[in-house]
Amino acid sequence: MNINNKLNHAIVAIGITLVCGCTSAGRDDLTGGKPAGTSTEIESVDWPMHGNDVYEQRYSVLSDINTDNVSKLGLAWFHDLPENRGQEATPIVIDGVIYTTSAWNHVHAFLAETGEVLWEYDPKVPKSTGVKGCCDAVTRGLAYHDGGVYLATLDGRLIALDAKTGGMRWIVNTVDSSLNYTITGAPRVAKGKVFIGNGGAEYGVRGYITAYDINSGDLVWRFYTVPGTNNHETGTEPQSLMDETWSKGNSSLEKGGTVWDTIVYDPDTNSLLFGVGNGSPWNPNIRSPGGGDNLFLSSIVSVDADTGKYKWHYQTTPGEAWDFTATQPIVLANINIDGLDRKVAIQAPKNGFLYVLDRTNGKLISAEKFVDVNWASHIDKSTGRPVINPDAQYWKTGKPALVKPSWMGGHNWHPMAFDPNSNTLYIPAQNTSFPYLAEDEQTPSKLAVNLGVDTKAANLPDNPKVIAAVKDATSGSLLARNVLTGEDLWQIEYPGVWNGGVLATKGGLVFQGSATGYVNAYNSKNGHLLWRFNAQTGVVAPPVTFKVNGQQYIAVNAGWGGIMPLMTGVLTQDAAQGYPVNKSRLLVFKIGGHTNLPDDKRATLEIQASTLLGDPAAITKGFEIYDRYCINCHGAGAVGGGVIPDLRFSGFNRAPNAWLSVVRDGILESRGMVSYKDELSDEDIESVRQYILERAKYAKDSGDNERPAR
């Protein structure tokens, strides 16, 4: 079958999916855990949308790969991706063609059976854009509709490509490029429009979501999520509702609230649901010193898909102060609760509570903890508001507060999966904590995150017992929970956080990658491990499944990265069980696959520590500057996470002039390392070098002086 015919078949398949509203036509009739009748199920051979169907449940009715034969699953083919950075994308599969994105927004189209490259597209995102992003040069995927592929780039562009050739149909810039906006989320398509948000809250931007005409790229509507500080441009937002929940702050930063990931179209109510992120800065004493809920921070918002007109919102964390974003995936479902058929939205945001909302009006149905939580005791069902622990309010007490979960969240961006036949939700959960301490005076920076929080308090001391204790308190898991009863069915424990997104299938399987470098298949009923594959790198992206010519496949993008590996230093080692590496690939599996990955023969780096260290005062100053400007990419304690070069192993740190040429003069800007001359003096830059040398000496003296090359 040629590509033209394949695309025609794909258009028919998508039309069927949109008419049904989901992959299984029987789902609308589900009641209280009863399975849908098999006679009404439509076996979708594609993975046509970000979450497979419009409800974004990441559940597939394909069952040729099942509990009886999954042990025979093998690698059918693989393709090396062009950038060894974080790979977070969900592939889209349309009638035998896989469309996916990789780091820095490269787009790839493959024949799904063989891996033959049909076309590739490079939007040529400037590497200097990386400094505007908190969380790696990642992308979470594409949208497809009617022969068009739609991508959003890290530097803020929305691009429509021809699915047959990869040629450009139209392009539009969705952000003010002079500001620190980025895009890492996947676009969504519905009702003749393409929907996209953006990121950059820690860098002081104003969040919004925009709808563009799918044929021309013309702007249809824009909804701002917070009031403007300097930028007073308005969209369709309820300005008075937002204004009355904020007080005038003493910061020139915009207020944050970016829609950096989840967008879901609800066909049952013709609504667009999206999650809103954290405030800018985190510390409310700076952002809104008079208090207030600060709408729509950390909220799920519903608007009319045609006009962008506000319908309802539910705020998971009023007055958000801990980076508890509500941008995590939202699953739509139809569930019978207490004898009533309810249309619900399900989310497990960073704050550690699992929410079930009525998606027709935003009313709370249930909210229960799914990880360790100490910032709030519970959610008051009558008001929908959390009952906050006063000790967690660090901006009021002036004292450090060890809060659970941390800013990494009880659940981050990694997609969940939901089995509508059993009402079981599979959550990539995390147990984490963080010591928040207010820093009420902080000069806004364009080249550093603006938190209003003293992150130096979180740096681990050079004490193996303390480090071991923190690692023991930091773990990940795959949690299976019945959302109707609240019962936890089973849980798989991982040694660290940042494990991959989830896929559930009618074959009785749950697939998930891990930070330790495996793709795993579990029995969906009891969590027993039935199969695993060594991917040679951390797998954080979610798998998908599809069928071509009668053969079912599993596909996943593998590649270690994201904010956790970039920032958390030795905790990254714990998650990956050693110094992590990145070898980015698309992996495709089938029953009887027998392809092998090549041996990983990368070189080993060794620290060459210098004995020419500066005075302690210079090292202390260097630590403070490093913690503000460098930690987001190069890791806490200067311990690299396997994505960006580990500065302790760099030859630049041994030569003052070479160091200046990089940090001050920006000779590596084309690789993403921009100049800091506008914010740091030569003395500042040298003090950072002294700190790096001190960290290298400590590592060598403690025997931690080797790691694999990136």
Q: Residues with catalytic annotation?
A: 323
Q: At what angle do helices 682-701 and 656-663 cross, to 10 degrees?
A: 120
Task: Report helix, strand or coil for 39.
Answer: helix
Q: Give me the phi and psi of 171, to 5 degrees please.
A: -145, 140
Paired residues of 589 in beta bridges: 75, 554
H, E, C per residue of 370-391: CCCCCCEEEECCCCCCEEECHH
Q: Give me the phi and psi of 457, to 5 degrees please.
A: -65, -20
Q: Are 428 and 502 in contact (CB under 8 A)?
A: yes
| DSSP code at position 267 | T
Task: Report helix, strand or coil for 247.
Answer: coil
Short-list 662, 652, 648, CA closest to 692: 648
Q: Are 109 and 424 in contact (CB under 8 A)?
A: no
**CA atoms lying within 13 Å on the CB side of residue 210:** 22
Paired residues of 272 in beta bridges: 265, 303
**9 CB-near residues (< 8 Å, 6+ apart):** 1, 95
Alpha-carbon distance of 223 to 180, in angstroms, equals 19
Alpha-carbon distance of 438 to 532, in angstroms, equals 44
Amino acid letter for position 330: I
Alpha-carbon distance of 39 to 375, in angstroms, equals 47
Short-list 278, 240, 241, CA closest to 259: 278
Q: Are 181 and 200 in contact (CB under 8 A)?
A: yes
CA-based max dimension of the chain:
76
| DSSP code at position 390 | G
H, E, C per residue of 163-216: CCCCCEEEEEECCCCCCCCECCCCCEEECCEEEECCECHHHCCECEEEEEECCC
